[in-house]
């Protein structure tokens, strides 16, 4: 070795020198490679950073999760499906059909909210979790920084994940390392990030505790029924005592509520016009289509019977045998048999008739909409050509409100497309070509969202295949009503979710009876403030008088309340010559029901809710002291009965004979209930309170109420936990200065996975 080194001394020194150079250069090269990673933002005053690699990795994981599991399943996880049973996470993420099932549940509940009551416990939890997580999913979709920040936060919190849970999900999906190592590793890490984010929210929500006083309060307000006595003071009864408003009062009232729509301000005051629309429509009635369908011939019935008699469609249930000897048989005989032709005939006729009606309805629908669409496109193109020829265009606001205004050429039906005569011609053409009568309708007066809801078509529940109701579509999704950002979002929508311009035919709407409808907005007026008070002067002046009359009603009600501090409310009513009403028992839930559960005239909507909420607030008032005999009414019993809305609202029987017994005021607090939406003030006295539980089951009710309240608080906290602004505040997150010029993330409406 020594001889070798002496012989090759120069070569050895050269190799040694190169090695030293590499050794010194390697740390510098590694350091430079680290500097190439961009810093996206700092956390907690620079104590931590979000690097570009972390950011891109998290974004890639989010895209992979959506692609692999679907939005509804992810929404269920973010909605806290694991709160009751962690195995449900495996079920919702491991089953490829889970997203479709949740979507089916959502559609069924949307069609009939009562369906939610019949979901089994597991199905109900899947649906509710997906619904709760839907806004969270939408925020993550709209704000690209949100998921990377949530993953970073969970990492800094040291949140762990059950590795067996991830393995179970991947196994249920059929993903193994042996089959596809790259996909397995990427999905393993993506699931880890998702579950870390979910566990971080769960850790925050775990701090919620429901105290015993809160449980008692919930039992008192939500698990009791109450009946009250009422004396009503209505603003309308004081209008004749109010002077006409001055010009200044009218102007002040207008200025105060001009930016609110009716129903948004006090006592429903509001003068801002909502979105308004005029429209016409073509309706294809199923019964009329049935009249135009060809009758089913006997030979067609035979042909269908012979072709399908052996496929199990025509089976008659015969029931178990009634012969005595068959009761001893080891193998019971068949309980079904094939139908004969005569037995199956009616069923076949119904089936073939329905098929023909559906086929003809589809042809009529396509003929109507295709004709309207072609003529609309020609109408729109003609306007564009007219604009070029005159080197001008109609003002944007005018086009948005009434559509292009110019001398429209004749359509394919020989009359201008933008006229009601066009629909008359279209109706006649369909009648002549297809022997089907279609009906047409025109609404030439401005239709507000409320009027659309209350219209005949609104009540018949016409909706698109995407479950968009006709009133909502006409009042919200027309192009003139959309903001620039909403137009971008709607432009990416498919099918029935797309908006329509003025005069453009809408998507096809269908009601529960399979009647079809296609509409056109003939004019659209976006929500706006009246240019001056003169336009709504009469309404404003009437509202000023109503507000003043309501104040007088409050004063009169307060005087009655003061008199009732040491008297029964019936005594006060007798003294003032007023009528006292007594309700039946009702619960806090009755405030959201359409039918009035109490004997009060015209209470509905916001007024009904105010009454029910105010009645239960009486239980929080300090008890009255003293006692007095209960008086009888001085009003005829029949007078009270005239105010009953339902049989459940029967007034309390009135005693007419027998001695009067003194009763303590202690359990009968009295107070005021204001229902400004209906212009009424009620003096209310608690008549009776009835709990829905018994002492024997007190512990069970306490536990159940505490669980429901904790679950509600956890859901609210989880929802707030994922809000982008809250995440930024928690982390003290500050983007890098070089990113400061970019526009801030906008809080867009959540993208619902439903």
Instruction: Say which range, 213-217, 351-355, 506-510, has the weakest mean pLDDT.
Output: 213-217
Instruction: Enumerate the β-bridge partners of residue 439.
Output: 283
pLDDT of res. 644: 36
Distance CA 530, CA 537 (A): 10
Closest CA to 543 of 681, 679, 680, 674: 679
> Is the CB of residue 118 less than 8 Å from the CB of residue 143?
no
Instruction: For residue range 98-143, list pLDDT tens digits in order.
Output: 777 777 666 666 655 555 555 556 666 777 788 888 888 888 888 8
Q: Which helix (H) or strand (E) holds 442?
A: strand 439-447
pLDDT of res. 131: 82
Instruction: For residue range 286-301, list pLDDT tens digits in order.
Output: 999 999 998 989 999 9
Question: Around Cβ 731, how many Cβ atoms within 10 Å?
Answer: 19
E-strand spans in 290-376? 315-317, 336-338
pLDDT of res. 22: 54
Residue 740 has pLDDT above 60, yes or no: no
**Stronger pLDDT, 161 or 632, i.e. the higher one:** 161
pLDDT band for position 645 (50/70/90)? Answer: very low
Residue bearing tokens 């007419």: 656
Structure tokens at 729: 């505040």
DSSP state of 167: H
Mean pLDDT of the chain: 81
Structure tokens at 279: 């429209």
Residues in the chain: 754
Show Cβ contacts of residue 297 under 8 Å, excluding neighbours closer than 6 positions: none
Question: Around Cβ 445, how many Cβ atoms within 10 Å?
Answer: 8
> Is the CB of residue 411 less than 8 Å from the CB of residue 378?
yes
DSSP state of 8: T
Show Cβ contacts of residue 204 under 8 Å, excluding neighbours closer than 6 positions: 717, 718, 721
> Is the CB of residue 405 less than 8 Å from the CB of residue 339?
no
522 three-class SS: strand
386 three-class SS: helix
Instruction: Say which range, 268-282, 362-376, 494-508, 721-735, has the weakest mean pLDDT.
Output: 494-508
Instruction: For residue range 667-677, list pLDDT tens digits in order.
Output: 899 999 998 88
Residue 316 has pLDDT above 60, yes or no: yes
Show Cβ contacts of residue 224 under 8 Å, excluding neighbours closer than 6 positions: 587, 689, 690, 691, 692
Instruction: Say which range, 556-560, 600-604, 609-613, 659-663, has the weakest mean pLDDT.
Output: 600-604
> Is the CB of residue 234 less than 8 Å from the CB of residue 679?
yes
What is the SS3 assignment for 218-274?
HHHHHCEEEEEEEEEEEHHHHHHHCCCCCHHHHHHHHHHHCCCCCCCCHHHCCCCEC
Residue 248 has pLDDT above 50, yes or no: yes
Residue bearing tokens 């309308």: 236
């Amino acid at each position: 070795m020594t001889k070798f080194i002496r012989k090759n001394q120069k070569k050895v020194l050269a190799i040694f020198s190169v090695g030293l150079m590499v050794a010194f250069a390697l740390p510098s090269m590694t350091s430079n490679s680290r500097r190439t990673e961009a810093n996206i933002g700092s956390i907690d005053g620079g104590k931590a950073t979000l690097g570009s690699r972390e950011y891109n990795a998290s974004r890639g994981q989010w895209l992979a999760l959506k692609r692999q599991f679907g939005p509804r399943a992810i929404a269920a996880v973010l909605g806290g499906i694991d709160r009751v049973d962690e195995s449900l996470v495996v079920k919702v993420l491991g089953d490829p059909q889970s997203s479709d099932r949740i979507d089916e549940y959502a559609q069924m509940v949307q069609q009939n909210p009562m369906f939610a009551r019949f979901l089994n416990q597991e199905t109900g939890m899947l649906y509710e979790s997906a619904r709760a997580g839907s806004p969270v999913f939408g925020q993550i979709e709209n704000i690209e920084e949100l998921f990377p920040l949530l993953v970073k936060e969970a990492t800094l919190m040291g949140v762990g994940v059950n590795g067996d849970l991830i393995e179970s999900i991947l196994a249920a999906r059929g993903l193994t390392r042996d089959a596809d190592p790259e996909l397995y590793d990427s999905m393993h890490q993506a699931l880890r990030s998702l579950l870390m984010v979910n566990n971080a929210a769960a850790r925050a929500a775990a701090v919620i505790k429901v105290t015993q006083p809160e449980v008692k309060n919930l039992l008192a307000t939500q698990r009791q029924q109450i009946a009250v006595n009422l004396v009503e003071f209505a603003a309308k009864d004081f209008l004749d005592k109010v002077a006409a408003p001055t010009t200044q009062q009218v102007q002040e009232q207008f200025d105060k509520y001009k930016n609110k729509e009716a129903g948004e301000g006090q006592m429903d005051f509001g003068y801002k016009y909502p979105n308004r629309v005029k429209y016409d429509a073509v309706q294809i009635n199923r019964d009329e289509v049935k009249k135009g369908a060809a009758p089913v011939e006997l030979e067609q019935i035979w042909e269908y019977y012979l072709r399908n008699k052996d496929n199990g469609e025509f089976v008659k249930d015969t029931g178990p045998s009634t012969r005595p000897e068959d009761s001893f048989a080891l193998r019971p005989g068949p309980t079904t048999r094939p139908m004969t032709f005569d037995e199956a005939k009616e069923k076949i006729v119904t089936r073939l008739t329905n098929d023909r009606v559906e086929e003809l309805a589809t042809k009529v629908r396509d003929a109507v909409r295709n004709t309207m669409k072609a003529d609309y496109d020609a109408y729109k193109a003609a306007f564009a050509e007219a604009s070029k020829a005159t080197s001008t265009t109609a003002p944007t606001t005018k086009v948005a409100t009434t559509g292009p205004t110019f001398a429209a050429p004749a359509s394919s039906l020989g009359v201008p497309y933008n006229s009601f005569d066009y629909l008359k011609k279209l109706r006649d053409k369909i009648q002549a070509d297809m022997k089907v009568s279609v009906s047409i309708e025109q609404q030439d007066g401005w239709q507000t969202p409320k009027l659309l809801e209350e219209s005949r078509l609104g009540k018949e529940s016409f909706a698109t295949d995407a479950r968009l109701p006709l009133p909502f579509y006409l009042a919200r999704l027309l192009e003139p009503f959309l903001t620039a950002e909403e137009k971008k979002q709607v432009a990416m929508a498919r099918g029935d979710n797309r908006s329509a311009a003025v005069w453009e035919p809408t998507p096809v709407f269908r009601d529960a009876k399979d009647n079809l409808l296609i509409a056109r907005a003939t004019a659209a007026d976006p929500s706006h403030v009246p240019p001056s008070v003169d336009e709504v002067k009469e309404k404003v002046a009437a509202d000023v008088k109503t507000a003043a009359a309501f104040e007088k009603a409050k004063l009169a009600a307060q005087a009655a309340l003061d008199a009732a501090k040491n008297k029964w409310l019936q005594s006060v009513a007798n003294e003032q010559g007023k009528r006292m009403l007594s309700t039946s028992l009702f619960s806090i839930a009755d405030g959201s029901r359409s039918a009035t559960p109490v004997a009060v005239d015209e209470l509905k909507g916001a007024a009904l809710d105010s009454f029910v909420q105010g009645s239960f607030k009486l239980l929080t008032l300090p008890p009255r002291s003293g006692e007095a005999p209960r008086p009888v009414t001085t009003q005829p019993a029949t007078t009270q009965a005239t105010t009953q809305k339902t049989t459940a609202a029967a007034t309390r029987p009135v005693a007419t004979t027998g001695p009067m017994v003194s009763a303590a005021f202690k359990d009968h607090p009295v107070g005021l209930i204001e229902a400004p939406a209906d212009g009424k003030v009620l003096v209310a006295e608690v008549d009776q309170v009835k709990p829905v539980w018994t002492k024997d089951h007190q512990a069970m009710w306490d536990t159940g109420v505490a669980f429901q309240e904790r679950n509600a608080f956890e859901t609210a906290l989880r929802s707030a936990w994922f809000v982008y602004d809250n995440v930024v505040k928690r982390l003290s997150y500050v983007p890098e200065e070089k990113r400061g010029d970019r526009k801030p993330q906008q809080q867009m409406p959540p993208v619902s996975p439903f």
